[in-house]
Chain A
Amino acid sequence: MKILVTAKRVPDYESTIKVNPEGTGIVEAGLKWIVNPFDEIAVEEALRIKEAQGGVEVVVASVGPAEAQEQLRTTLAMGADRAILVKADRPDTTVVARILVKIIEKEQPDFVIMGKQATDDDSNEVGQMLAQMLGWPQATFISKLTLSADKTSATAMREVDGGMETIEIPLPAIITNDLRLNEPRYASLPGIMKARKKPLEEIDAATLGADLSPRIVIRKVTPPPARTAGRKVESVDELIKVLQTEAKVL
């Protein structure tokens, strides 16, 4: 069995994100970069299936800058078997999905798992678009995954507004996970050593034959409207009084 996982290079969520003075993007100097936390959970899920079942190859693909090989090495250090980096200059979600179609056609995985969204653009689109482009079923925002004994289908529990939905999907399929699917492991020191020798293939997006023309163009970026800190109150009585008389919400 082969599982394909995707992993995006994103700024650390603990970094301070600031809009650059030109208003064209964020200030990237000095940022720490990590594997998109949702994708890290996807890698972990694939590794757990590999460990439980045996005979499973875990391949991780990333679409992004050359530097994303650092993040791919991290996933290899966690235990993935090999990695594919498709080099592309700031592709939008549609372009990423089109590129992944080409990778999936070549790799023929039994299923694909990825984070439901990346914490940089917060789009939450690629998995669903990819599923439609391939004509595959999708199970999005999942927090539990169970493969059938014959591995031709899976049951997924999805985090939806108002509760948990369970659906069954034939494989191959696209699966996107929410945060509570699992707790990802840290790479061990031996894992990091081994990762250096694992295969990491680099492909130029232009060689794949995918349409790389963008569908969404960022014209400018701005910081959010600032919310100024209010003031401290000394007691519950004062709090209730200001909510009544000043804020007028009680």
Chain B
Amino acid sequence: MSNVLVYAEHAHGHLPKATAVAVTAGKKFAALSGGQAILAVLGSGIGEVAAQAAKLGADKVVTLDNAAVEHALADVTALTLKAIAEAVGANTVVFAATSKGRDIAPRLAAAMDAAIASDVTEINADGTLVRPMNAGNVFATVELVGDKKVISVRTTAFDAATGSGCPVEALSVAPVAPAKPARFVSIEETKSDRPVLTEASRVVSGGRGLKNGENFTTVLAPLCDALGAAMGASRAAVDAGYVPNDLQVGQTGKVVAPTLYVAVGISGAIQHLAGMKDSKVIVAINKDAEAPIFQVADYGLVADLFAAVPEMTDKVKALAK
């Protein structure tokens, strides 16, 4: 019987949906091993976050409130999580496959001398795991060798866990500092009043067809707001500098699976499809009838986006009235 440690990602006193998804995966592993799913909250001034974490359905929340782990830098966090895993008797550590999770998890795996699988989409009863490869063209069923495992899970592949409350315990483990640590300098956060891209039930994404950054603001943003949708973008649009990098949907950006995904002026390269093809309903608006995006879209509109998008915006607004 071994416990499962789940890493609670958080920012600004808030737990993202990704953490609740990681708890769901952690509980699956705990059910397989017959142990407990223990959610670890690390950071500085984390009382409020720990209280929220207690309502995610884990068996227990453990906390480490210390300035040394405030910025979740990979080196100190990995070494400290290794010590926490040992302290709580966990052989398996689960992360959400976010930028933070993917920064820390492999480093922890090396520290623990554990096997690792990243971006896992299924956990099977026999302990094997499924993960996508080759931009989602291939799904591999993999077996991890040995007792120790580190796993990051795709945030769209599992439901968010909820619970009515569980014990919260302060750990007596001290942060473990690396010999030559990285130092946090600053973070420049993308400010937006729209829903978070990876959590939104509706997403409107723009591609190269938008032609410039200004059109994202004047043409695409009004449709996002009329729909209450998050804004996304193709790699081409991000590379061209139209929008910030954290809006990128695709193989190397974010993976989303909203109820409604509207692709505007996006041709639909396989790398983009890898990040959105699990959406429930996909709409494509593109003037090129041969664009590959139409092969995955439930509804395709062949039209000039500069006419169709404002028209759609007005008509969606009219519906709301």
Contact = CB atoms under 8 A, between A and B. Distances in A.
Interface of A: 11, 13, 17-19, 26, 38, 93-94, 97, 116-117, 119-133, 135-141, 143, 155, 158-170, 173, 178-180, 213-224, 227, 229-237, 239-240, 242-244, 247, 249-250
Given A94-B115, A222-B141, A244-B319, 15 more contacts: A120-B133, A121-B134, A135-B180, A137-B75, A160-B187, A162-B190, A215-B116, A217-B142, A219-B143, A222-B139, A224-B139, A229-B297, A240-B315, A250-B260, A250-B316
Interface string B87-113: 000000000001110111111111100
A115 to B, nearest CB: 10
A137 B178 contact: yes
Nearest to A222: B139
Interface stretch (B29-37, B45-53, B206-214, B299-307): B299-307
A164 B119 contact: no
Interface of B: 11, 73-75, 78, 98-100, 102-111, 114-119, 128, 132-146, 178-190, 198, 202, 235, 238-239, 244-246, 251-252, 254, 259-260, 270-271, 277, 280-283, 289, 294-303, 308, 311-312, 315-316, 319
26 contacts: A13-B270, A94-B115, A117-B252, A120-B134, A128-B107, A129-B110, A131-B74, A160-B100, A160-B246, A161-B198, A162-B189, A162-B246, A163-B244, A168-B182, A169-B182, A180-B238, A215-B115, A218-B142, A220-B141, A221-B141, A230-B297, A231-B299, A232-B301, A233-B299, A243-B281, A247-B260
Given A120-B134, A125-B109, A236 B142 contact: no
A119 B251 contact: yes
Nearest to B289: A232
A218 to B, nearest CB: 5
A231 B295 CA distance: 9
B140 A218 contact: yes
Given A132-B78, A218-B141, A230-B297, A165 B182 contact: no
Contacts of A249: 202, 259-260, 280-281
A222 B133 CA distance: 10
9 tightest CB-CB pairs across the interface, nearest first? A230-B298, A132-B110, A128-B106, A125-B106, A215-B115, A17-B137, A163-B189, A129-B110, A166-B185
Contacts of B102: 124, 128, 140
A240 B319 contact: yes
B139 A137 contact: no
B115 A131 contact: no
Interface of B is mostly: mixed
B315 A122 contact: no
Contact of A232 (B103, B106, B146, B302): B302
Interface centre among B78, B134, B311 (most CB of A within 10 A): B134
A128 B108 CA distance: 9
B150 to A, nearest CB: 9
